[in-house]
Structure 1
């Protein structure tokens, strides 16, 4: 349990955020980079009055900007070749925001268009030319990967059908050609806010899609039709770790972590010890994979836990308790930085059950962190 003294010390330790140097969690790139003097981290946040913002924090701990937006936002990704990052509204939001990371201003707001809304995630192609975004056509309930031409002012160039409902987070495979898509399977409609309309007939999946043609090359199915596949990350070797949110009876405790080795097509689910499994309350959020060691972090906000596993073997390494844990990114060694809906930012390592408080802010972090520069 994080004690109050440590938490309060964290509010005085903002300068320690220099430990953020070397994070690589954005979907745009999986390659380790040389840490510059200052880095910028983005997250969707709500302030104490409940207003929706996009916050930018640098590696010295300074809040660089807080940009008011009309939607509650979710995930983001950085443009690999320009000083831009994109932050997406979460369902049923209908905008994404292109941030000029040099000026700290919104460069462009893009609307989903009539009959569509976003799911909160996107990823750039390796060269930054195209942006791939998960969208819902809420009239039919069909999910799509929408392709935007970032080199042409983010104009729409294609919609790829996923042959299912509720595509959520996606990543670009290390081959640069394949999109890895978590298909949640949950039907929603803006007229009903976030109410889930098809829990009895869900068909979640983990998809591999050709980013040029939209052809689905592989489809992997969870062990239960109510295991909504929502978030994921992929290692430099091509090992995918995905997180589920179970929509069935709360007293059931199915596995919440899936592993796919794209080198050989092996798909499996990771069963944690029964007491730990039950403590996660059937809900995972952010997934982050280290580029420096075979470690993955899975956050479980409802269980107030960070679960660290060996992504190559699926073995449990350890857990850490962080109240209302939210986003996760790898650090520059073999551990992780995690945020909290209560405003804290913490460092978690595979070597120790202890956590370090790195800072505290007067806003509520959403479930994802993005390395913007």
Structure 2
């Protein structure tokens, strides 16, 4: 007869198997551990929504509700081992699908505690808070092969660190690489794009690197990142020229998720996107904090190439009634599951119509911050 240790052994050995976690939740409920079972189920749903639509749905009604209930259970059971967010000294864990799965710590602590972590949690990712100059100690450790997520945000790595990653023999599992605010520029992008060691990478995060259009040509045009599906470029300086390069590139034809927030774009850039047949795989598009105005969004609403789009972020884009009317009256409105907007430039009557149409799929983050 299967017991708890059997489930743990299987979950540790197969961290990507969601069915195992849900089966364990059923077992917990059968053994009168309902709160832990509920936590796993609710957190599985929360994680699935964030994985599908990324950070953009954090302010959605459903995700906020799930986070509230999950946090309530963690507080109620703060003394229980399953609710402890610190799996080892000096390490903070992040819950994903009901279990601590990602950790935050410096490189030396991570390497020291790695054997214990592997025995305790279904480890798949790490956010490093220090260790520049020593990345080879991690990337040439065979346990690096278990990581699907590597976050180096805010670490200004050097050439040797990048070489250590790209030369690692253990990159087969890596799916997400976060290089936000790391000083990544053209040399590093060219190295990443032209190296076939990251061919299986699915998500590249390059936010807040002051990237310009001419830094971006190799990544957009000659990239070996054949598996890349998600590209996050928020807070750079791509401008319209950067979007023009991307819109006509082979890379664009592979992307399902694209973040162009805060890049100094105008309506012309969005028109180029809307006219490009290469955007036909896009499911998630962030255009927040760009002065796009109505013209660009009307072009997007009328684009024949967005049959797969399910999430659109128009926060702080200076759009008004004309743009939102165009969306409501287009086939796009029937396909979108989530629409994120700022309501400052939109009439109250139209906001009400949008709420009636999208229901909980309408995300207005500023409504939560006031």
Quickly name the TM-score band, shorter chain normalised: 0.3 to 0.5
**Greater strand percent: which structure?**
1
* TM-score, structure 2 as length reference: 0.33
Larger Rg: 2
**Greater helix percent: which structure?**
2
